[in-house]
Chain A
């Protein structure tokens, strides 16, 4: 394959022609331009709304708690001065006379956030508690109060049910807080400074990473995979459209009638598809950056203290590699698409090929893989890992250049391969046997 200066201009011209006709195709516009721009804001919006919904409902869901005590203590449960008073008060976060079960008392869930209500007090031991849970009108959890002082209280629930899980999540922290309070009270009563109870206190942790890189780090888990997917989908339809689509429309022959080398035509098409793929990728990066930035500004404006900043430098760092990757994707897809005679054939050929891209992309999203010099030569996987490392701020120029070089090499190989396929077709040796069914046969 020799690209001479004059024929390169022809390549550009053909690429421009193809681009123009592609841009008028609805699917191309949808996948390469509209989808990247619209997807992230919509996703983020939906995620925020769903989060609010779920949280709102959960907070206003009342947890129904049953209390089981040994028969001789049932009467005393919750009464002032009994050992259970403290526990129940902590759990329900209400004054004692307000949580003794009274079925006629209305529950005002509208204002009562994160409420726990005691529905019934029964007598029994563990077996009865378990049986109670499986009855029809069972409470969400059962608090099994121990017999002698020092016997362990138990919270019996079933975490596979969401109510049980919610009950545990709501009640356990309150009990832990109550335990701590009891310890403090005892310490005070015995004139012991509270700090003496601990050998060491937790002073928290500080993050020394710059704010920008925190956001980048978070994104490094999903963004590489997303970028691969989006580049692929941006290149998919144009690749088929430019080859099989043209054949279907009948304009393929017209292009071939030009006094231009077939290989040149193919290169022009590859360039057009690559341009579309690059546009899709760039729009993706831009849209994601803007959406995340938007989300962060909204959260910051809402008063939440988040130390995150949009990692524009990280984005700038991945852009060149992303563009190279787009070129590589376009070339690879075109290798197979250029042989297809109908849209259906093209899809059948490219469909499984997509898996070859998706699998390494997903593998690259797994933690633990690091971009090494060997991995830098494996297509697709190297890009994903490079994206991740770039977003994390890792400085590895050798590996990154290797990635760039290998992408370029593979892309050029793909172009060469496509040209070779084309020449085989010229010699009349079919690779795909899907003949169309009109009266005109090839």
Chain B
């Protein structure tokens, strides 16, 4: 063995020893799951069973008025009811209730009388013949029920009664149909459901819905404490410096630690799986009874873990990268909660199984592993989909694992010279701006949503003028003060070159046309559910006169939203980030504030374009103009005007003008810098 591999082995050994000798951690990671799983399932099974028994043996009191039923049906009903469980029936006279219209909303007097008749019982049943029909033989008597949905017993009463009633109705109908026509004319159409589902697959699929979520929880839980102990713990113990003085490559140290994190995590996951399987073996999980299915389940569960290994590699690498930055155990912990949430999201089950969704999920980090696990648990583990998912996940994992090597760089590892803190300190402005904007988005969503639900028109106006505008001004004020400029300068409300203004306006027709195309495209991939189109959502707005519509939909958002996003937010971000990052953040937040996944992409793109307009012209006015023009064109389209397709070509000169404007501004900047340098020299 070379010296290098001996060193690696010793590093791994020392790390493992440190972990294994931590008795408390070992107990929590390995013994606890084996004990908790059976305990949990046993308790919940017991509670469920006892609850069910209690329900089924409960004596239900019925208040019945079944005089309008024929003899046969009446006896049948009562017998069926008694079959469902112990009952205590009381005959009442509910003729009064028959007077109320069953199809319209309940009147207070109906409520009163029903409550009085219901009394102590759980369910009130009345059978009425419809007095509006000419002859009694032409209508079937109607059964009506009154219950209390907040009372568990009442719900149980209703459930039992529904079962009994269905039985009676079915038998009555079969009888009568045979009487009248000889056979059931509908029978030839009714298709018997022949479900070919394989029970193991069905169970596997059901289990697979939440299995990845549990896996990621366990994974992050075990990996994080190992990673913290390995990286942040090293620093806390004071042994990091010593390690760095050893004549070995720093990469070796980081890699050794990473290997230990992965191995311990996999061990912990396996123990958890064992605990789960032991529980299943003990017969404590409902639905997994036979030994055969348990064995099959065991095979699939371990196959699922095998398929999950790339995800383990990826998450361990990510956690190592994060905990290595922490100076103390506690700091490391602070970073974990947001990570946990981020990692949880891709594990949510996918709706539907169309190929587009499936294959793109397979290539997405983490989501691909969840997909692979679900497929394996459902029995279709040996498929191209799973293979692709695994390969993609391995590729993603490799991207992160590669960076693990650089973790223990001496400069970063020690207190002095922490680039992260320095960068964070410099980014104070952008963080402030971001916090204000996030708060604004939250306020706009919650308060604005409530206002708009109350009154769409007024609410919209209030939201924009009353919430977005003030928050924008407040946020910009802080930025302005720190940069020692006026509020107007920060917001970009400075003198604007006509070139920029014209250029921005020329872009509007192309954008308006493009929006239509984009929306149609989006419909093909993310279709709106029935009944949720623009008309239903904008309701009251569409009835306003044109000038009001233009003001509310075109001018107001143009001013208020621009001030908030391209004014306050952009100026704050611009101080610390480059063009691309600023534009991206502004676009994403702008998309988010419109609070609908269907509008995210169009508004996000618009936000990006507006941001770039503002950045290139160093002024907010072009963005306001463009936004107003764009919205205005959309309003006009709603009125029936069509934007001529040829006007899209105006975008080209528009872009040219904006580029020219940018060039002018850049030249000005250079001259300014040159002057300053001259003055200083």
Contact = CB atoms under 8 A, between A and B. Distances in A.
Contacts of A164: 196
Nearest to A192: B180
A49 B597 contact: yes
Given A300-B453, A366-B47, A41 B446 contact: yes
Given A159-B202, A196-B180, A297 B106 contact: no
A306 interface: no
Given A61-B354, A163-B353, A206 B144 contact: yes
A56 B169 contact: no
A56 B528 contact: yes
B424 interface: no
Contacts of B115: 208
Nearest to A215: B150
A156 B176 contact: no
Interface in A160-218: 160-164, 168, 171-172, 175-176, 178-183, 185-187, 190, 192-193, 195-209, 213-214, 216-217
A205 B144 CA distance: 6
B422 interface: no
A395 interface: no
B69 A199 contact: yes
Interface string B313-331: 0000000000000001110
B148 A342 contact: no
B191 A172 contact: yes
A209 B149 contact: yes
B187 A208 contact: no
Contacts of A197: 140, 173, 176-177, 180
Given A27-B334, A199-B172, A205-B146, A183 B139 contact: no
Contacts of B21: none
Contacts of B48: 366, 368
B453 A209 contact: no
Contact of B140 (A27, A198, A369): A198
A60 interface: yes
A53 B198 contact: no
A179 B180 contact: no
Contacts of B150: 209, 213-214, 216-217, 392-393
Contact of A158 (B54, B190, B195): B195
Nearest to B229: A344
B309 interface: no
A128 B468 CA distance: 65
A429 B502 CA distance: 80
A297 B447 CA distance: 12
B192 A153 contact: yes
Interface stretch (B244-252, B519-527, B571-579, B646-654): B519-527
B111 to A, nearest CB: 6
Interface stretch (A82-90, A92-100, A321-329, A415-423): A82-90
Interface string A324-357: 0000000000000000001110011001100100
Interface residues of B, number: 113
A437 B187 CA distance: 82
Contacts of B69: 199-200
A152 interface: yes
A26 interface: yes
B114 interface: yes
Interface string B380-424: 000000000000000000000000000000000000000000000
A352 B28 contact: yes
Contacts of A60: 527
A359 interface: yes
Interface string B159-175: 00000010011001101
A183 B106 CA distance: 32
Contacts of B181: 186, 190
Interface string A36-50: 001001000100011
Contacts of B526: 53, 56-57
Contact of B165 (A90, A200, A344, A355): A200
A181 B190 CA distance: 11
Nearest to A347: B333
Given A183-B184, A298-B453, A437 B146 contact: no
Interface residues of A, number: 112
Interface string A3-47: 000000000000000000000001100100000001001000100
B180 A150 contact: no
Interface string B178-191: 00110111111111
B44 A185 contact: no
A179 B149 contact: no
Contacts of A209: 148-151
Interface string B39-50: 010011001101
B73 interface: yes
A317 B528 CA distance: 41
B51 A198 contact: no
B24 A208 contact: no
Given A52-B532, A154-B192, A58 B352 contact: yes
Contacts of B523: 110
B663 interface: no
A424 interface: no
Nearest to B181: A186
B462 to A, nearest CB: 15
A155 interface: yes
Nearest to B183: A150
A230 to B, nearest CB: 14
Contact of B353 (A161, A179, A343, A355): A161
B33 to A, nearest CB: 11
Nearest to B379: A160
Given A199-B169, A348-B24, A208 B147 contact: yes
Given A52-B597, A56-B526, A437-B237, A203 B128 contact: yes
A163 B352 CA distance: 8
Contact of B185 (A185, A213, A342, A363): A185
B139 A195 contact: yes
A402 to B, nearest CB: 21
Contacts of B205: 160
A368 B114 contact: no
A187 B194 contact: no
A378 interface: no
A178 B442 contact: no
B198 to A, nearest CB: 7
A158 B47 contact: no
Contacts of A363: 43-44, 47
Interface in B67-120: 69-70, 72-73, 102, 106, 110-111, 114-115, 118
Contact of B146 (A175, A206, A352): A206
Among A149, A206, A352, A368, max chain B CB count under 10 A is at: A206
Contacts of B149: 207, 209, 214, 217
A226 interface: no
A110 B183 CA distance: 42
Contact of B173 (A157, A162, A199, A393): A199
Given A178-B189, A343-B330, A162 B352 contact: yes
Shortest 4 CB-CB contacts between residues of A and residues of B: A368-B51, A179-B186, A199-B172, A203-B142
Interface of A: 26-27, 30, 38, 41, 45, 49-50, 52-61, 83, 86-87, 90, 109-110, 113, 130, 133, 143-144, 146, 149-150, 152-164, 168, 171-172, 175-176, 178-183, 185-187, 190, 192-193, 195-209, 213-214, 216-217, 245, 248, 290-291, 293-294, 297-298, 300-303, 342-344, 347-348, 351-352, 355, 359, 362-363, 366-369, 392-393, 437-438
Given A59-B529, A175-B189, A368-B47, 15 more contacts: A56-B529, A58-B352, A87-B191, A110-B523, A152-B190, A156-B196, A183-B177, A183-B184, A183-B186, A197-B180, A199-B176, A200-B169, A207-B146, A297-B454, A437-B238
17 contacts: A52-B597, A154-B193, A155-B192, A155-B194, A157-B194, A183-B185, A187-B180, A199-B176, A200-B172, A206-B147, A207-B149, A208-B111, A294-B446, A297-B453, A301-B456, A343-B333, A368-B54
